[in-house]
Structure formats: structure tokens, C-alpha cells
Amino acid sequence: MEIVIAHPEQLDAIVALTERAQAAMAALGLDQWQNGYPNRAVWEADIAAGGAYAALDEGRVAGMMRYCAGPDPSYATIDGAWLTDGPYAAIHRLAVDPDLRGRGLAGTLLAFACEKAAAEGLASVRIDTHADNVPMQRALAKAGFARCGTVTLAEGLEAGAPRLAYERALSPTA
């Protein structure tokens, strides 16, 4: 498995994988990502900003995420408490191919983000997920993230939606 900065030629595969992830969430009864978000325009902007990452399995996009250094408007206020006050990275739009679930791919993407953030001297990595997205909550716990409270999304098509907030504090060598 190789994780790379996503390029425009991978956009179609990322969008197709997003649509498959949306369908899988709908099949689980989740209303997360069911209102047209994320969409092609969101991923195009992420790729243009250099913040979209693709996990490649034999050259095929098997997972993806948005990684960026904070601050993140959605994380400015929390009902609860963050683990750290220092600079952090945020992960958004993490998804893996539904056919590859159970292979640790989400954990690989999360570990990559933590290693990248530590190398950049950041104090932590933050992420949020839907309260009913139990598979993501399990992946976050397994990857060493602690549930810190609840945030309200500040931007995009899901603005105003509550999400469970997680953080993993990093050591300089994490």
C-alpha cells in the first residue's frame, strides 16, 4: 500500500470511491454523506490545494482523505475538551473501498496522517465522524484517537451538523 498526494488524473477514481462509500453508509442506515457531500467539486478543490491523499493498492485508489494543518473552523468550539492546545492537523473525508474493509486501510491512512503531522512539528491530529458511524469510531479508537466531545460542522453542505470529535496527541517522534 502506498499513500500519495492525489493528482487530477485520480479524480474520477476518488469520486467513484466516494459514491461507493456513500452507498455503503446508506446501506448501514447512516445519513452521513447523503446530501451530495463530498462531491467532485470538493475533491477537485482538495486536489488543487495539495491536500487530498490517495491510498493506492497495486496502483488503484483504495482509499482517500483530506489532510490539512489547522486551524479548522469546525474545531474552534467543542462541547468537551481537546487533548492539546497546540497546532494540529485535521483529517476530513476519509473513506476506503467498501470491498477492502477489514484490511486496516483506514488505520494505515490515520497512521500516515499522524506521522506527517509529527514530522511537521504539530501537537496532534483531529478528526470528526457521525455519531452513528460505528466502523469509523472503531478505526479511530484502534488508531489511538480519543473521543474529546462534540463539534458542529462550520462549512460546506453539512454545516450545522453535530459530529463526534476525536484527537490523537503526538510526540515529536510519533
| In the chain, domain spans | 2-169
Average pLDDT over residues 56-76: 94
CA 36 to chain centre: 17
Partners of 96 in beta bridges: 63
Tell me the percentage of the chain whose pLDDT exceeds 70. Answer: 98
Average pLDDT over residues 25-52: 92
Strand bridging mode 52-57 / 60-69: antiparallel
Predicted pLDDT of residue 64:
97
Is it the case that residue 133 has pLDDT exceeding 70? Answer: yes
Sheet harboring 79-80: ordered strands across? 2-5, 52-57, 60-69, 88-96, 124-129, 162-169, 146-152, 79-80
Kindly report which listed range (6-20, 29-43, 80-94, 108-122) carries the lowest average pLDDT score: 29-43
The CATH topology of domain 2-169 is Aminopeptidase (3.40.630)
Average pLDDT over residues 74-103: 94
Average pLDDT over residues 91-118: 94
Q: Position of cell 491530529?
A: 125
Predicted pLDDT of residue 172:
59
Is it the case that residue 87 has pLDDT exceeding 90? Answer: yes
Residue 11's pLDDT band (cuts 50, 70, 90) = very high
pTM above 0.85, yes or no: yes
CB 83 within 8 A of CB 122: no
Predicted pLDDT of residue 101:
84
